[in-house]
Structure 1
Amino acid sequence: MKRVRFGFTLVELLVVIAIIGVLVGLLLPAVQAAREAARRMSCSNNFKQIGLGIHNYHAAYQSLPIHGNGTDIPGGSAPWSSLNSTVSNNRHGSFLIAILPFVEQQALWEQISNPLANPGSTPNPWQAMGPGPAVIAYAPWTTELPGYRCPSDPGFGLPALGRTNYGACTGDSSVMSREGAVYVQTVANGATMPYSSNNSTQAERSRLVHRGMFVLFGRMQFRDTLDGLANTIMCGELATDLGDADNRTSRPGSAFADTGSGRNECRKDPKWQYQHHDPLRPQFWSPAAAATVSATSARGYRWHDCHPLFSQIHTILPPNSGLCTGFNDSHDQTVTVSSRHQGGAHVLMGDGAVKFITDSIEAGNSNRHMVSYHGSPASEAGEPSPYGLWGALGTRANKEVIDTAF
């Protein structure tokens, strides 16, 4: 009697393995897409919490959190200097500090707002509101807050301090983005001293160029947003730098930066630095410019610092465009929204809604000069944004009708 054997032949086994391999190859992209969709939703939820924090702050104090808060340098100092001061943060504080108690970070807020022990200078404590934003020995400045991070952004650790993926929208002009509104500093004897020798001129300049919901060092309210909270961007997402010469997140050295008279090249043409992009990889600096990229001053590297590179966004260049910048942290910087998501980035509207803005949003003439107060050509106060729908969304009171879905 012939015995019957049950089993697979080698050919059948190979066929089954091949089928499994094909199925896995088909499923992996779907799994990756599902994971990214989950990370994108988590990012949106983080932004919603920040929006709720801002609204609750406004309900408590009848104003938006001031972007550019903290203490003055005794004797006075320019508002963009003293990054390493141990006696004051020189009003470098971002709005993200002010909303800490409203986003379940009361403990960290109490550390910052009260004198904290300084192990490097015992028994002298740090001052309330902390030291300069670049002081690495101050523990709160190196604290990474999950609620201020996008899960799709892998950036982590030094040379950054505590990172953030969310910044304040300061409008459709980067002129004076390091100086802000009228800035008065306290001197040692208790008197006050304006940074500008003509403070009324400084105020006029600020009214002309600062058209976003946030104005650096300025106390803003929801009622200032005459275009409607639902039609105006309050904050935007930003990708943090990975040290790879990405021109969205890093700035080149002085030889390739905007170093013209008064740093005016980017003001005249926001795409000016595109000449230094790699023609084969347009999202990166050219090899020569990349060789001089700063290691410590890059996008999103300090959640607590109010200056453009770290926690501001403008509605000038479309999402995920490269920076146009001077060669120091404290220079004016033309910085748009960016992200590690595909095809766009999130924005937080004034009413608390979170929207995903695609890279292809109508953005007018990206080569056109910004609204400014000096030089040639100078702009007229109140003119419509030259940057199309994108620019109109970034201005708070320009009476531009938003009749396009975005």
Structure 2
Amino acid sequence: MSTTRRSPLGFTLVELLVVIAIIGVLIALLLPAVQQAREAARRMSCSNNSKQLALALHNYHDTHGCFPIGSIQTTNGERPASWLVRIWPFIEQSAAYEQSTFIGNDWSGRGFDKNWRATTVLDVDFLNCPSNPMTQFWTQNASSEMTSDGCPSSIKYQIPDYVGCTGQYNGGPLTNWNGYNGREDYNGIFTVLDVRNSEPTSFKHVTDGTSNTIALGEQSDFVKIMDSSGNVQKKDTYRAWTWHGGGWSGGGGGTAAEAYWKGLTSVRAGINFVPSTTNNPFGMGDYWYGRPGYHTIYTSAHPGGAMIALGDGSVRFISENINFTTLTRLANRHDGQVVGEY
């Protein structure tokens, strides 16, 4: 009687370990490529977001003959609508715009935001970069007038990632030192209406050319500062939209000395700038009552630079290593200087 010797079934321990090791190596090789592909997709999405906003600015200009104002000084202390609210009809938010009240309304929600039924639930997807690691909403207590109107006691407003450019810090005659509030600049595509300026910006004011002038840029990553121990700290509150009312409040209100602007910045420091000292230079740091300053920096979660939309509607990824003089010339709409390569 003959017997047949069968080979053992399955893997030996050594073979299994070899297979696991091979799979581990393959994953290690593929993971960076997958992450790069995902970031490339997010970067493209962010570019499209900026493009939509830039085109909305042009459509607004076609309709009104000027770019939207960033804010307006009021006599009763009510905080006005932001420039984003003014372009709602051009970013498919006509329903919210048409049911909103502009007169006698406090868009920050610190007073009576009569539009709370729209503003506290509105979440416009393309106003946030998909790579943004920070919170995308500002939470606050509703005013007594709002709760009496049926509003919940706790409300939230969207914090967008795209910020209009008011120009170059201290860039020419259209600038004003506003004491501890900081320097106000009026030489960019965006401007405000107050005691120093009574006219919105239009194409005729962009004498350097719209293709050579920044319209808006990203603030989609933490601002990085030094603490007293010399360690880099990440701050998500040092953004131009971060305060009461989120992206729907333009700031302002009150007297000129108390006025401030939201969703706007003038270029005072480079893209993704990290200070090397602890005294929060260039206006980067905590502000009075925690509100943003006039020249918060452009930041981006995309490695190496940030998405910038120019006045002609084009969008470019501008390196954080761009020559700073070139960056400031791009911010100023009428300095008469040659921008050069970037």
| Alpha-carbon distance between aligned partners in 2 of 1:278 and 1:235, rounded to the nearest angstrom | 34
1:324 alignment partner, SS class = coil
Who is 1:156 aligned against?
Answer: 136
| Alpha-carbon distance between aligned partners in 1 of 2:92 and 2:104, rounded to the nearest angstrom | 18
Which gives a bigger RCO, structure 1 or 2 (Cα 8 Å, sep 6+)?
2
1:343 is displaced (CA, Å) by 1.7
2:167 alignment partner, SS class = coil
Describe the shift of the 1:63–1:40 C-alpha distance in structure 2 as closer, same or farther (beyond 3 A): same
Name the stretch that deviates more: 344-353 or 311-320: 311-320
Who is 2:117 aligned against?
Answer: 139
Who is 1:340 aligned against?
Answer: 301
Matched to 2:45, the amino acid is S
1:276 is displaced (CA, Å) by 5.0
| Alpha-carbon distance between aligned partners in 2 of 1:176 and 1:44, rounded to the nearest angstrom | 33
| Alpha-carbon distance between aligned partners in 2 of 1:129 and 1:237, rounded to the nearest angstrom | 31
Note the 1:233-312 alignment, pairs <5 A: 233-239=214-220, 246-248=222-224, 276=227, 279-281=230-232, 283-284=233-234, 299-301=240-242, 302-307=246-251, 310-312=262-264
How many equivalent residue pairs? 286
2:97 pairs with 109, 112, 129, which one?
109
Who is 1:356 aligned against?
Answer: 317
Note the 1:2-401 alignment, pairs <5 A: 2-5=4-7, 7-69=10-72, 72=74, 76-77=75-76, 82=77, 89-90=78-79, 92-112=80-100, 114=101, 128=103, 130-135=105-110, 138-142=116-120, 143-154=122-133, 155-159=135-139, 161-173=157-169, 176=176, 209-217=185-193, 218-239=199-220, 246-248=222-224, 276=227, 279-281=230-232, 283-284=233-234, 299-301=240-242, 302-307=246-251, 310-321=262-273, 323-324=283-284, 326-328=287-289, 332-363=293-324, 388-401=325-338
Describe the shift of the 1:350–1:341 C-alpha distance in structure 2 as closer, same or farther (beyond 3 A): same
2:168 alignment partner, SS class = coil
Deviation per CA, 1:66-92, whole angstroms, max 9, x where unpaired?
2115x94xxx24xxxx4xxxxxx44x3
Among all aligned residue pairs of Structure 1 and Structure 2, give the percentage whose two residues are the same amino acid. 33
Flag structure 1 segments of 5+ consecutive residues without an equivalent. Answer: 83-88, 115-126, 180-204, 241-245, 249-273, 286-292, 364-387
Query: 2:223 touches 2:272 (CA, 8 Å); kept in 1?
Result: no
| Alpha-carbon distance between aligned partners in 1 of 2:205 and 2:335, rounded to the nearest angstrom | 11
| Alpha-carbon distance between aligned partners in 2 of 1:333 and 1:350, rounded to the nearest angstrom | 20
1:21 alignment partner, SS class = helix
Describe the shift of the 1:32–1:275 C-alpha distance in structure 2 as closer, same or farther (beyond 3 A): closer
TM-score normalised by structure 2 residue count: 0.74
Deviation per CA, 1:235-289, whole angstroms, max 9, x where unpaired?
111136xxxxx545xxxxxxxxxxxxxxxxxxxxxxxxx67565232x547xxxx
Query: 1:168 touches 1:234 (CA, 8 Å); kept in 2?
Result: yes
1:3 is displaced (CA, Å) by 2.5
Describe the shift of the 1:337–1:158 C-alpha distance in structure 2 as closer, same or farther (beyond 3 A): closer
1:212 is displaced (CA, Å) by 0.8
Higher share of residues assigned strand: 2
2:163 alignment partner, SS class = strand
| Alpha-carbon distance between aligned partners in 2 of 1:279 and 1:394, rounded to the nearest angstrom | 31
| Alpha-carbon distance between aligned partners in 2 of 1:150 and 1:52, rounded to the nearest angstrom | 17
Describe the shift of the 1:298–1:61 C-alpha distance in structure 2 as closer, same or farther (beyond 3 A): closer
1:95 is displaced (CA, Å) by 1.2
Flag structure 2 segments of 5+ consecutive residues without an equivalent. Answer: 140-155, 194-198, 252-259, 275-282
1:30 is displaced (CA, Å) by 1.6
1:304 is displaced (CA, Å) by 1.6
2:157 alignment partner, SS class = coil
| Alpha-carbon distance between aligned partners in 2 of 1:166 and 1:312, rounded to the nearest angstrom | 9
Cα RMSD over matched residues? 3.0
Deviation per CA, 1:131-150, whole angstroms, max 9, x where unpaired?
24144972333322112111
TM-score normalised by structure 1 residue count: 0.63
